[in-house]
Structure 1
Amino acid sequence: MSISFYRPGPGMFSPARHLWRACGAVLCGWLLAGSLQAVAAPTATEPAAGEAPAQALRARHKQIKDKLERSSFGRPIQLDSIETPDGLQGDVYAVVEHPLSEVGSALKGSANWCELMLLHVNNRRCRVSGAPGRETLTLFVVRRYDKPVDQAFELPFAYRVASATPDHLMIDLSAASGPFGTSNYHVTLEAVALDEHKSFLHFSYSYDHSMMVKLATQAYLATFGRDKVGFTVVGQTPDGKPEYIRGMRGLVERNAMRYFLTLDAYLAADAKGQSEQRQRHWFAAAEQFPRQLHEIDLDTYLALKREDRQREGLGR
């Protein structure tokens, strides 16, 4: 799979509102003043609803700050992966040299997400449809970079800005179904300001798969894909080199990192007319990890992306 990007929680609902509809105004007023008071009104020490996610992400930064400072990636990045009961999830945490206002300006907007996701070598086309606030972002993905665009499968994401305040940004993309027995895709970006110049990002990518898909993927990774590795170090080779995780978690780690690097490249050249600059930035960043991410040479990659943009009438 080429797509892999924290699974957001369901929409909030108010127990007080439903109870009000279910009973008379007099009785309900008494209940709301008494037994439901704790539900209806936050205490003085309880954060407001919009503040809680930002506080949680800052707490996460504090928790992993030492790991970020000692990161083997050469910059403050932490990559985690898990096999969930039904699928896979990869999470990338990073400190970036961009203020939150700049991150928000660059990454709010479905069209911007189309631009950044097209930096991934396997993503060949992206289109936005629907009214503002209800956009669908449809990604066309080929199984290998050298496959023609007419063999791409479509992955329609519902695009949602879950939070956009001066202190917190959260953008969620979700797709109920995908190709080859996959489903429940979630791509989430969350960010908070650390100071006037830096932000802390959490990028998450997850999806579910059927048992048949899981077994087929495991078989591929044990044979033709046996040399493919992720980033988590699980031991040492006989000659003292790092032994990297393989299998399903290795797969989701590679995809999560590729997509995080699209965000990073987009932020690095946040201006119109900078498509090739972003492509070069993404490619150079991926090539820092050739053991995990190398697939193609620069000239071939740029030619593919140039062809894609010309086909869509986007120019260079």
Structure 2
Amino acid sequence: MSSSPHLPVPWLRSLTGALLIAASTAGLAAPPEAPAAQTLRATHQRLSDKLDHNSFGRPVQIDSVETADGLQGDVYAVVDHPLSEISGTLKGSAHWCDVLNLHINNRRCTVASGPQGRDMLTLYVVRRYDKPIDQAFELPFVYRVVSASPEHLSVELTAESGPLGTSNYRVRLEALALDEHKSFLHFSYSYDHNAMVRLGTMAYLATFGSDKVGFTVVGKTPEGQPDYIRGLRGLVERNAMRYFLTLDAYLAAPGTDQADRRQRRWFAAAEQYPRQLHEVDLDTYLALKREDRQRDGVATR
């Protein structure tokens, strides 16, 4: 009968302990992600090919839908910012007015404490960039952090009522950590409108606004160029993209003394899509924003 070699007792004890530790941890996995984070990660995987191959010149995808009562636009993008940086900048209402005011039609934004201690952001929006501030309509948003973790952030702004028969405004930002340097963003913008507003908007888009298009390609023109979606979905796609670009510009220059840099970055980004987003020249845009800051007593930089 053959004999087996004897292992030294200390070595045997170490081996036994290591085996016990391995056995006890073999069935353990990393803490599961919350459902919202799982959903966003699945969306990133589903859109990976569109994010890598598109006409935007960057990993961006935009979708739109006419809901039962209104419109919704969604922008998805991979950005070169870690989630910790995004959360530090946007997890809190303090900077959101600076973000939203980059939009050309937003002329003022204020922050106050609302009922039950909730943060309230009131946005003053003009129908056209050249309309005076006293013709702006007010959108009183309730700001809240839906969820926040080292892997996922969800922030939401909601307004129950809006102007001219619109209601249930909802602005939502989700961010998912992809690695130490990149994050996946989902920006959603939606609102409801009554039948009269819908018909009036459609009439405008069919006449004076007939040249306005969105980003979704629905075919080709007779000249072989992309034929972009028009009408209500084109409208919400343009606005969703403008708002996404405000976030992108602010993340690139988040400091309190970076207003001019952010404005120039937002304008340059919008001008990359002139067919959809061009409105004015740079000097006109900067003059409007300078006027807004001076009117509200904010020092220009």
TM range (shorter): 0.7 to 0.9
What is the percent sequence identity of the aligned residues?
71
Deviation at 1:315, TM superposition (A): 1.1
Correspondence 1:127 to 2:120: no
Aligned residue number for residue 38 of structure 1: none
Partners of 1:196 and 1:163 in 2: how far apart? 20
Of 129, 132, 143 in structure 2, the residue corresponding to residue 145 of structure 1 is: 129
Aligned residue number for residue 77 of structure 1: 60
Q: TM-score scaled by structure 1?
A: 0.84
Of 206, 210, 231 in structure 1, the residue corresponding to residue 194 of structure 2 is: 210
Aligned residue number for residue 17 of structure 1: none
Aligned residue number for residue 22 of structure 2: none
Aligned residue number for residue 223 of structure 1: 207
Aligned residue number for residue 83 of structure 2: 100
Change (3 A) 1:49 1:153: farther
Partners of 1:292 and 1:272 in 2: how far apart? 30
SS at match of 1:238: coil
Partners of 1:99 and 1:159 in 2: how far apart? 23
Deviation at 1:111, TM superposition (A): 2.3
Aligned residue number for residue 275 of structure 1: 259
Describe the superposition over 1:168-222 as per-residue Cα deviations: whole angstroms up to 9, x where unpaired.
Answer: 1000000001001000100000011000000000000000000000000000000
Q: RMSD in angstroms over aligned alpha carbons?
A: 1.7
Q: How many residues get paired? A: 272
Describe the superposition over 1:48-101 as per-residue Cα deviations: whole angstroms up to 9, x where unpaired.
Answer: 897111111111101111110002101000100000010000000000000000
Aligned residue number for residue 306 of structure 1: 290
Partners of 2:141 and 2:32 in 1: how far apart? 26
Q: TM-score scaled by structure 2?
A: 0.88
Describe the superposition over 1:132-169 as per-residue Cα deviations: whole angstroms up to 9, x where unpaired.
Answer: 95011000001111111111110000000111111110
Aligned residue number for residue 175 of structure 1: 159
Q: Which runs of 5+ in 2 are unaligned?
A: 1-26
Deviation at 1:276, TM superposition (A): 0.5
Of 297, 300, 304 in structure 1, the residue corresponding to residue 281 of structure 2 is: 297
Q: Which runs of 5+ in 1 are unaligned?
A: 1-43
Higher relative contact order (CA 8 A, sep 6+): 1
Select the structure of larger CA radius of gyration: 2
Of 92, 104, 121 in structure 2, the residue corresponding to residue 109 of structure 1 is: 92
Partners of 1:50 and 1:58 in 2: how far apart? 10
The question of whether the paired residues in 2 share the 8 Å contact of 1:142 and 1:153 is answered with yes
Alignment of 1:221-260 (within 5 A): 221-260=205-244
Of 242, 250, 253 in structure 2, the residue corresponding to residue 266 of structure 1 is: 250
The question of whether the paired residues in 2 share the 8 Å contact of 1:133 and 1:160 is answered with no
The question of whether the paired residues in 2 share the 8 Å contact of 1:222 and 1:247 is answered with yes
